[in-house]
Structure 1
Amino acid sequence: MLYGTINLFLIVGSIFAGAIINTHNRSRLLRRTLEALERIAQGNFDVFIEQDEHGRFNELTNSINKMAKELGSMEQLRQDFISNISHEFQSPLTSISGYAALLRKDGATLKQLEYATIIEEESKRLSKLSENLLRLSALEGSGGSITKASFPLDRQLENVVLLLEPQWKAKNIIPETTLPKITVCGNEDLLKQVWINLLVNAIKFTPENGEINVSLKQDGETAVCIISDNGIGIAPSELMHIFERFYKVDKSRDRSLGGNGLGLALVKKIVNLHKGNVTVESALGKGTVFKVKLPINE
């Protein structure tokens, strides 16, 4: 009787133990699967879910691994195509721009000057688009690996404001700056591109005699840069799309101002590579505020 009771307890115990272990294994597999799917959704296709021996969900994990591999191959083909096309565009565009500039200087009529100017401006716009595509493609192909070093972020922001002086002076705008000394660890060249893109946008969409503010502050282990203006603003329905490639809030207006819809996509990609984040708030007729947060010691 005693041995029968013990055996019964052992059987029941083993069933419970098996259920607990099985539940734990399934929970672990589910967590790994969800993490892999999240990385795929973010555009990182370098994922592989390890399978459990005699697992019940091996067919599912096999399908996810296969999907990630195929998506990765397609993404690599896309990046190679963009990179190659953009590179091939550069030489002829430079030639077109150069010839157009020569035509403007060679005793052309007013009508010819007008056409030559349009050709030169459009070739420069396409050249800039090509450069941005190459830059974005290179960043996406980096696998999240960028060279970082410590540098004074306040000085970099000050230099970018000075670099763009001809543009804000032409609109009679004097940017207000609040730049306390803050050192961050990041890629100096890439972050410089972030501030240039954001400040160029602020100048571009702020009217003459408008206001632009560039401020910097430290929040714990995070550097926070805020670039704001009192320009035309962005409609709420547009805000969720402005970091998408080639998206333009006002396509006709943005084209006339030389935009190509890649500047903010580059901003977001560079900030993400620094494990930071960028947000935007805006109201039509009141202006726009971009806030970039970067870890100080990444």
Structure 2
Amino acid sequence: MIKGLKAKLHFALNAFILIACAFTVGYFIAALFFKVTGQPPELLRYIISGFTGLLFLWAAVSLKPYKEDKWIAGMFDALENIAQGNFNVQIEKDNHGLLDELTARINKIAQGLGSMETLRQNFVADVSHEIQSPLTSISGYAALLENEALTHAERMHYIQIIQVESKRLSKLSANLLKLSSLDIGVTSLSLTKFRLDKQLQNISILLEPQWSKKNLLLDAELDKVTIYADEELLSQVWINLMHNAIKFTTEGGTIHIVLTRDTEKISCTIADTGLGIAPEDQLHIFERFYKVDKSRDRTIGGNGLGLSMVRKIVELHGGKVTLESEIGKGSTFTISLPVTD
């Protein structure tokens, strides 16, 4: 009985995979057809795609004697592997070259899904690492506080470290939630018209305690610019960039902010005379959890998410962010936004 049930389940699974593969191939065949004829109405597109999938399913069932064909066998094996989560597959071109584009599309899908899976695994590993570090500190110093022989100064020092690590963990969680909501489109842009130069002035004043403490000179050249954008999200862009400029500029250095506008774009540059970023690090600076100097994570802080958020917010506004930097001479971030009025 159990053997018969397993056979039925195996048959049902194979039938499901066959149907899924047939309709997937049917969808792409229809898509190729629409590239030539143009896109029909949505309902008609679904009907044609479904009908094409049915035809392909009929052909797959009817042409069993021909399944020994290398391309057909390879296609079915590849689609079955993809359905089971194995994306390391490649279909060889058929003998007659009739389905080269379909083969290329399926191979590209498998490659893309494999890359996404690798990114997902790396992301999970990075998040786990970032969370584990403050949790280890909190747990360790909390255990030390159980020692009744501690002096008041030692106890307060340990408590302060626990508070710092707790805030670090909280900030990491908030940034992850924000990036996630931006990625999946949950956070939509709340567009309003406001003065961008006033926003930059206000943020400079907000961060004054930080740059004054290091005796930095903050110099600003701000044209009067009105923009139609998400004021709250853009404020996070400037806060992140200015905070980084303050953090990586040595005492007595300079931060220079320039805001201009022409007929096509609004441009804001934030330049510092800080440590600078090496060319090999500039290639990855906007990647999540990437840190230029990992040896100073504890003293300087940060979790490698700020610049990822900057790029995401700027791209949501139809703009782009670029970086120019040289070791020992500082960094210049340039934000370009489209004119919206």
Shift of residue 116 of structure 1?
1.3
Aligned to 1:140: 183
Counterpart pick for 1:164 among 207, 210, 217: 207
Shift of residue 74 of structure 1?
7.3
For residues 190-205 of structure 1, the aligned pairs below 5 Å read: 190-205=233-248
Write the distance in 2 (CA, Å) between the matches of 1:200 and 1:144: 24
Change (3 A) 1:69 1:177: closer
Counterpart pick for 1:151 among 191, 194, 219: 194
Counterpart pick for 1:130 among 167, 173, 178: 173
User: Is 1:119 aligned to residue 162 of structure 2?
Assistant: yes
Aligned to 1:188: 231
Aligned to 2:337: 294
Counterpart pick for 2:326 among 274, 278, 283: 283
Change (3 A) 1:74 1:176: same
Change (3 A) 1:192 1:250: same
Identical pairs, percent: 46
Write the distance in 2 (CA, Å) between the matches of 1:58 and 1:276: 33
Counterpart pick for 1:214 among 257, 265, 271: 257
Task: Output one character per residue of 1:182-203: Cα deviation in whole Å (capped at 9) or x when no partner.
Answer: 1112111100000000000000
Counterpart pick for 2:282 among 232, 236, 239: 239
Write the distance in 2 (CA, Å) between the matches of 1:225 and 1:132: 24
Write the distance in 2 (CA, Å) between the matches of 1:238 and 1:62: 33
Contact between 1:235 and 1:284, CA under 8 Å: does it hold in 2?
Answer: yes
- Number of residues paired by the alignment? 238
SS state at 2:170 partner: helix
Aligned to 2:293: 250
Task: Output one character per residue of 1:166-223: Cα deviation in whole Å (capped at 9) or x when no partner.
Answer: 1111111131011111111211110000000000000000011110011100132210
Change (3 A) 1:178 1:287: same
Gaps of at least 5 residues in structure 1 are: 1-24, 33-47
Write the distance in 2 (CA, Å) between the matches of 1:234 and 1:166: 25
The one-letter code sitting in structure 1 at the alignment partner of 2:202 is N
The one-letter code sitting in structure 1 at the alignment partner of 2:295 is S
SS state at 1:209 partner: coil
Write the distance in 2 (CA, Å) between the matches of 1:132 and 1:244: 14
Write the distance in 1 (CA, Å) between the matches of 2:304 and 2:214: 23
Aligned to 1:3: none
Aligned to 2:269: 226
Gaps of at least 5 residues in structure 2 are: 1-31, 40-45, 56-97
SS state at 1:175 partner: strand
SS state at 2:318 partner: coil
Shift of residue 147 of structure 1?
2.5
Change (3 A) 1:238 1:62: closer
**TM-score after normalising by structure 2:** 0.60
Write the distance in 2 (CA, Å) between the matches of 1:70 and 1:280: 30
Aligned to 2:83: none
**Which structure has the higher relative contact order (CA within 8 Å, separation 6+)?**
1
The one-letter code sitting in structure 2 at the alignment partner of 1:202 is A
The one-letter code sitting in structure 1 at the alignment partner of 2:284 is H
Cα RMSD of the aligned pairs, angstroms, is: 3.9
Contact between 2:181 and 2:187, CA under 8 Å: does it hold in 1?
Answer: no
Contact between 1:171 and 1:208, CA under 8 Å: does it hold in 2?
Answer: yes
Change (3 A) 1:111 1:144: closer
For residues 103-118 of structure 1, the aligned pairs below 5 Å read: 109-118=152-161
Shift of residue 274 of structure 1?
0.7
Write the distance in 1 (CA, Å) between the matches of 2:191 and 2:336: 16
Contact between 1:221 and 1:297, CA under 8 Å: does it hold in 2?
Answer: no
Write the distance in 2 (CA, Å) between the matches of 1:132 and 1:144: 13
**TM-score after normalising by structure 1:** 0.68
The one-letter code sitting in structure 1 at the alignment partner of 2:324 is E
Change (3 A) 1:115 1:144: closer
Write the distance in 2 (CA, Å) between the matches of 1:160 and 1:202: 13
The one-letter code sitting in structure 2 at the alignment partner of 1:164 is L
Aligned to 2:89: none
Task: Output one character per residue of 1:80-138: Cα deviation in whole Å (capped at 9) or x when no partner.
Answer: x99xx9xxx9xxx9xx8xxx8xx9xxx96222122111111111111111111111011
